[in-house]
Amino acid sequence: MKYVPYYRVSTAGQGKSGLGLSAQREIVNRFLKADDELLPEFIEVESGKKANRPQLSAAIAFAKQHRARLLIAKLDRLSRNVSFIFSLRNSEVDFVACDIPDANTLTVGIMAVLAQHERELIGERTRAALQAKKAQGHKLGMPNITPAITQKGLEIRQQNARSHQANLQAAELVRLYRKDGLTYAAVAERLNAMGYRTRRGNKFFAMSAQRLDSKTN
């Protein structure tokens, strides 16, 4: 089997010094079998919150060109990175993660949904904290905007946002599970087991899962 290794370092200094990089290479070398072929490696130097990953795109293109698999040393930390997971899922190239060898397109797609959900929750908590700070600094002479009213409005906005985002996430999971060959009834069971509900707060059934799928396609 031919593999294209993809490594990620957080700073240019790490890329030059090999800090972190040597450990990833060691993981990859231990993963390979005697008859495997390791093709040229691609090293991504990331900093801050930049989402563009030119080396990932180059590695994917190279793997497609040579009919090879993309080989990632450690997927665990990257599994929370939304842009990375979506890039990997949409690449249509086979990949292997040394630390999660059973990962596939479906599991990575679910990782992407959960990662997006986690990021949204963090955003909500941040906005709630800001609103709380504003409430604490409430000045007299503004009786129409009390901390209680501010908090109530925040709760309503958060509930609406959660309902909307959860619906989008459920739709994405329906698409992924259907692509994996599951019936709508089986998809509905999985959505219910994960705690998802319809917009009206009801459990999913085959018909409601199919209806959600048709609305987003």
pLDDT in tens, 45-56: 875 455 678 898
Q: In whole angstroms, what is the distance from residue 193 CA to residue 181 CA? A: 18
Question: What is the count of structural domains for the chain?
Answer: 2
78, 130: one domain:
no
123, 211: one domain:
yes
- Nearest by Cα to 44 from 34, 28, 36, 55: 55
137, 60: one domain:
no
The model's pLDDT over 82-135, given as tens digits with 9 standing for 90+, comes to 677 777 778 888 888 888 777 766 676 676 666 666 666 666 666 666 566 566
34, 131: one domain:
no
116, 96: one domain:
no
Residue 164, CB half-sphere, CA atoms under 13 Å: how many?
7
The model's pLDDT over 127-139, given as tens digits with 9 standing for 90+, comes to 666 566 566 664 4
- Nearest by Cα to 103 from 61, 75, 62: 75
Which amino acid, one-letter code, is at 114?
L
CATH of the domain at 10: 3.40.50.1390
207, 111: one domain:
yes
- Where among 42, 77, 103 does a domain terminate? 103
Name the pTM for this structure.
Answer: 0.52
Give me the domain span that covers residue 74: 2-103
DSSP SS3 for 80: helix
206, 122: one domain:
yes
151, 83: one domain:
no
